[in-house]
Structure 1
């Protein structure tokens, strides 16, 4: 389940400053954590993720984006937090999502985001984007809260959208079913017409990073 705040509807492109980080992790510690929590099935899922990342190293960016999107969409079954975690809104770590083999839209996006950082995609080119997703086809007024990952070639470029509901990538202008609300990454929160604000305001993001570090990410 994705809970939206009261931010005004925005546009797809936002200004951002330079900077990048690379995701680092202790693979042995991750494997130990996965084995202890989720057993052989979890360890297998983790090994498949690590092998996929290794296979994607050095490939063209478009192939990496497509490969990461397809991997997570194939490896994870969509479910709701209330069913999986007995909580209304829980942001799972990549390890937890792989271990469960299930997650909601945020969990897909978190997995894709950190996978691409591991491959060396610059931080400023990636945004986790809250959207309203129209359901029921053209003309429908029904929508749901949803999250997608956006890849921005430049800070003001139209992003490519990586979506758990779609296995192929499309520019935002071709996703008429999505209405952006706001976006964020480790550098800040971005809302159209406002100055970027600190990502620390998103408590679930802070909690996610703490748990990832405990698991062996970001040593």
Structure 2
């Protein structure tokens, strides 16, 4: 049974979501394929994958990121001191990290992003948190990761996030994204950078950077920027288009749940 008076809106929503998941991002602007309201709502999403995200106020992802942020405050001071006086820098990890940032600063555009992706992928050995720390899902800051020379997906992604910022990328164009690998049934973290209006993902599993519109078999779960952590959710889009009374019961339940990244990243 449908909702009276909303059949055209539902068809527009279904078409919009089909384009988001199966078509390139450029197709989303084709006004002849969807109603102006749907197209406008999608364009308002500034996040990777063109999906809406709501702020997290609790949960495992937020807790882990806040702990990382507190440690990053100290590391930024150490990196600034080492950056200003390399000869007196007492941290080999900081010097290695800064060397990557230096090489990236010497490049522009896509080459700058690719340099950081490639260099950090090569600088860190893949190792699960359980093997390295005896715990599951430990998020490490760049200097800790570089001191150990090993880490898993979120450690790569956090190191790239910080390196990109130091290399001159605006925080407005920089994200961490946690996705669900729907084929292997595990969570995976990447850095994402917006270049010329397109989001590129920097992944420890590949040297080539892939645009979000071309990623398959992953479902985005969380996105992190300089303001905090957010959870991806489709339901608010349905609510805006159709009104809350037209959304099936439970569809708006997007409360944050603690999540763990798979150790096999």
| TM-score of the two chains, using structure 2 as the length reference | 0.55
What pairs up with 1:70-219 in 2 under 5 angstroms?
70-134=118-182, 141-153=183-195, 157-190=197-230, 191-193=232-234
The structure with the largest alpha-carbon Rg is: 2
- SS of the aligned residue for 2:143 comes to helix
Deviations 1:24-69 (CA, angstroms, capped at 9, x unpaired):
622169942x3xxxxxxxx2x5433322222222421211100000
Q: List, as ranges, runs of 4+ consecutive aligned residues in structure 1 with deviation greater than 3 Å.
A: 28-31, 192-195
| Alignment CA distance shift 1:79-1:165 (3 Å) | same
Per-residue deviation, 1:89: 1.8
Asked if the contact 1:127–1:184 (Cα under 8 Å) also holds between the matched residues in 2, the reply is yes
Task: Count how many residue pairs are aligned between Structure 1 and Structure 2.
Answer: 167
Deviations 1:133-183 (CA, angstroms, capped at 9, x unpaired):
24xxxxxx43211101111247xx541110000111011122213221120
Q: Give unmatched runs, 5+ long, in structure 2.
A: 1-46, 54-75, 238-255, 259-265
Q: Give unmatched runs, 5+ long, in structure 1.
A: 1-9, 17-22, 35-42, 135-140, 196-200, 204-219
Asked if the contact 2:52–2:233 (Cα under 8 Å) also holds between the matched residues in 1, the reply is no
CA distance in 2, matches of 1:13, 1:186: 18
Which structure features the higher share of helix residues? 2
| TM-score of the two chains, using structure 1 as the length reference | 0.66
Asked if the contact 1:128–1:150 (Cα under 8 Å) also holds between the matched residues in 2, the reply is yes
- SS of the aligned residue for 1:167 comes to coil
What is the Cα-based RMSD across aligned positions, in Å? 3.2
CA distance in 2, matches of 1:148, 1:168: 13
Asked if the contact 1:11–1:192 (Cα under 8 Å) also holds between the matched residues in 2, the reply is no
- SS of the aligned residue for 2:102 comes to helix
- SS of the aligned residue for 2:190 comes to strand
CA distance in 2, matches of 1:15, 1:26: 39
Q: Which has the higher contact order (CA 8 A, sep 6+)?
A: 1
